[in-house]
A and B are shown apart, each in its own frame.
Chain A
């Protein structure tokens, strides 16, 4: 028996099921959460969420947010979450190019942090989308 994991975004309840383990990228580094972990709250960086259940792994791309581990369930709250098959690869490519160009030219008044975050998001999406072929044996 695993524990309850919920992933919520402003637009929908992205995931809600029992899982064996979840691995996230916190601001302090990667973090694996197992059943009966001590309660914890920590912000997350842009990255992947890996969900393990019955020997299968599912991966999703998330954009920041935070994880809250509690006795009865674990919740990930994030601005956006996508499964590999939902990612629009072309759009992510374009976003990546745009961000790279901007960071290279450095036009006047560029919000560097924002451009870097855009690049990180795009790279993260592309990376997760490429995992699609491995995630065929996913949970559903």
Chain B
């Protein structure tokens, strides 16, 4: 019996260590989440504005002949996939990877990938996809220059005519508890069914609509990618925090159960000891 109480004790100690680690990770993640959310709040006006402007421009130049607006016939595509560099964030990485793979697994040879974060790179490289760009160790603190580099690389491939569509896969931050992995199409630019009440008014473009689009489209790509990086950074911390929180809770539950069985084992040991002593004393009489 003594043997088993010592075993239980050791397990409790082990689980307690794990609990301390998950607890610490939870605290770190919630601190980072707070910072990421502040950035998200500051950044949203920017990319929302750019997005709105581009939609307005597009609604005014419907019949324009421009490489960024014209639909292309093929179905070759480039995907920008935003994941994390580290795991232990619940389903964060696997959700986004699986979502993308689901869409591209049937046209493997027609798809190029740009991966952000270690997890997406490893996932798609191992499965033999054509990864033409990888951006690492910046998923937790993305800056605008990262978005610019990614945007330019994507656009270069598109300008060369190597792909027909550009997609972006990221995780939208809804609340701390809910994040949604999604894929959006970036180019050729499509109008969204938005309220275009202003579309009756005429907008001047200086020097010309083409020039303005030439300038605005790269900017639009960069800002949407930047927005997605920030959203994903936030989601990543949120997912990690939730995962670590439940891990800590599970550890606590296990410790409770083990303590119960430890006490039971201890009591059983004492009982049997007493009965041994009593029966020994009886025998002496």
The chain A residues found within 8 Å of chain B, CB to CB, are 6, 8-13, 26-28, 38-43, 65-66, 68, 70-71, 75, 77, 79
Measured CA separation A75–B50 after assembly (Å): 10
Name 6 interchain pairs, CB-CB below 8 A, sorted by A: A10-B226, A26-B206, A27-B206, A41-B216, A42-B205, A75-B49
Measured CA separation A38–B203 after assembly (Å): 7
Identify B223's interface contact among A10, A13, A71, CB under 8 A.
A10
Contact (Cβ within 8 A) A39 B211:
no
Contact (Cβ within 8 A) B204 A28:
no
Nearest first, the 10 A-B pairs at minimum CB distance are A42-B206, A10-B144, A39-B203, A40-B204, A43-B215, A8-B46, A13-B45, A12-B42, A68-B53, A8-B45
Q: Which residues of chain A come closer than 8 Å to B223, judged between CB atoms?
A: 10
Q: A38-B202, A39-B202 are in contact. Are A77 and B50 (CB under 8 A)?
A: yes
Contact (Cβ within 8 A) B42 A13:
yes
Measured CA separation A42–B208 after assembly (Å): 9
Determine chain B's interface SS by DSSP, over half rule.
Answer: helix
Identify A9's interface contact among B46, B57, B216, CB under 8 A.
B46
| Supplied contacts A40-B203, A75-B49, 13 more A-B pairs, CB within 8 Å | A8-B49, A10-B147, A10-B223, A12-B42, A13-B42, A28-B206, A39-B202, A40-B204, A40-B205, A40-B206, A41-B216, A42-B207, A42-B212
Question: What 0/1 readout, one digit per residue, does chain B (185-205) give for beta carbons within 8 Å of chain A?
Answer: 000000000000010011111
B43 interfacial contact with A, CB 8 Å: yes
**A9 to chain B: closest residue by CB:** B46
Chain A-chain B contacts (Cβ-Cβ < 8 Å), number: 74
Q: Measured between C-beta atoms, what is the minimum distance from A36 to chain B in Å?
A: 12
Question: What 0/1 readout, one digit per residue, does chain B (43-87) give for beta carbons within 8 Å of chain A?
Answer: 101110110010011000000000000000000000000000000
